[in-house]
Amino acid sequence: MKTFPFIYNEPRQFLSSLQGKQWADFLLGEINPRFSVTTIKAKVVAVREETADAKTIVLKPNWLWKGFRSGQHVPVTLEIAGRRVTRYYSLSSLPKDKYLSITVKRQKGGLVSNFINTNIKKGDVLELGDPTGHFTLPKTLPSKFLFLAGGSGITPIHSILKQLAANQFKGKATLLYFVRSFEDIILHSSLEEIAKSTGWLEIKYIFSDVPKEGYDSGFLSKEILQKYTEDLKSYSVYVCGPAPMQTKALSLLEGIDVKSELFLLPGQTSSKVKKTGTVDVFLSLSHKTIQVKGERSLLEELEDQGIYPQSGCRMGICHTCVCKKAVGSVTDLSNGEVSELGEENIQICVSRAESNLELEL
CATH of the domain at 205: 3.40.50.80
Can you give the CATH number for the domain in which 351 is found? 3.10.20.30
187 falls within a domain = yes
Note whether 122 and 148 are same-domain residues.
no
What pLDDT is stored for residue 271 in this prediction?
Answer: 52
Residues 152, 186 contacting (CB under 8 angstroms): yes
Q: Is residue 135 part of a domain?
A: no
For the chain, the average pLDDT equals 88
pTM of the model: 0.76
Asked if residue 149 and residue 123 are part of one domain, the reply reads no
- Rg, C-alpha atoms of the chain: 22
For residue 163, report the phi and psi dihedrals to the nearest 5 degrees.
-65, -40
For the chain, give the percent of residues with pLDDT over 90.
Answer: 61
Q: Is the pLDDT of residue 52 over 50?
A: yes
Q: What is the pLDDT of residue 27?
A: 76
| Shared-domain flag, residues 25 and 53 | yes
Q: If you average pLDDT over residues 53-59, what whole number do you get?
A: 97
Question: What pLDDT is recorded for position 146?
Answer: 97
CATH of the domain at 81: 2.40.30.10
Question: Is 327 contained in some domain?
Answer: yes
| Residue 148 is assigned to a structural domain of this protein | yes
97 and 33 in a common domain: yes
Per-residue pLDDT tens digits for 9-43: 555 555 555 567 777 777 777 778 887 878 899 99
Considering only residues 261 and 330, tell me which one the structure prediction assigns the higher pLDDT.
330
Domain end, chosen from 128, 155, 183, is at 128
Q: Do 88 and 174 fall within a single domain?
A: no
| 232 and 336 assigned to the same domain | no
pLDDT for 256: 85
156 and 253 together in one domain: yes
Which of 85, 101, 128 is the last residue before a domain boundary? 128
Tell me the HSE value of 334 on the side-chain side, using a 13 A CA sphere: 14
Q: Which domain covers residue 100, as residue numbers? A: 18-128
Using CA atoms, how far apart are residues 142 and 145, in angstroms rounded to an integer? 7
Q: What is the 3-state secondary structure (H, E, C) of the chain?
A: CCCCCCCCCCHHHHHHHCCHHHHHHHHHHHHCCCCCCCCEEEEEEEEEEEECCEEEEEEEECCCCCCCCCCCEEEEEEEECCEEEEEEEEECCCCCCCCEEEEEECCCCCHHHHHHHHHCCCCCEEEECCCECCCCCCCCCCCEEEEEEEHHHHHHHHHHHHHHHHCCCCCEEEEEEEECCHHHCCCHHHHHHHHHHHCCEEEEEEECCCCCCCCEECCCCHHHHHHHCCCHHHCEEEEEEEHHHHHHHHHHCCCCCEEEEEECCCCCCCCCCCCCCCEEEEECCCCEEEEECCCCCHHHHHHHCCCCCCCCCCCCCCCCCEEEEEECCEEECCCCCECCCCCEEEEHHHEEECCCEEECC
Tell whether the torsion through CA atoms of 146, 149, 153 and 159 is positive or negative.
Answer: positive
* pLDDT in the model for residue 74: 92
Looking at 97, 128, 159, which one is the last position of a domain? 128
User: What local confidence, expressed as pLDDT, does residue 175 receive?
Assistant: 98
Do 257 and 353 belong to one domain?
Answer: no
pLDDT digits (tens, 9 = 90+) for 115-167: 999 999 999 999 999 998 889 999 999 999 999 999 999 999 999 999 999 99
Residue 269: inside a domain: no
Per-residue pLDDT, averaged over 182-206, amounts to 97
pLDDT tens, 1-16? 444 444 555 555 555 5
| Residue 13 belongs to a domain | no
Q: Residue 71: is it exposed, middle or buried by C-beta count within 10 angstroms (0-12/13-18/19+)?
A: buried
Question: By the 8 A CB rule, do 359 and 309 touch?
Answer: no
Does 133 map to a domain?
no
Based on the domain organization, do 115 and 197 belong to the same domain? no
- How many structural domains is the chain composed of? 3
Same domain, 105 and 185: no
How big is the CA angle at 250 (ends 247 and 256), to the nearest 5 degrees? Answer: 175
Has residue 6 been placed in a domain?
Answer: no
Residues 251 and 169 in one domain: yes
Report the b/e string of 199-209 with b at 16+ CB within 10 A.
Answer: ebbebebbbbe
pLDDT at 188: 97
| 253 in the same domain as 174 | yes
Backbone angles phi, psi at 143, to 5 degrees: -85, -20
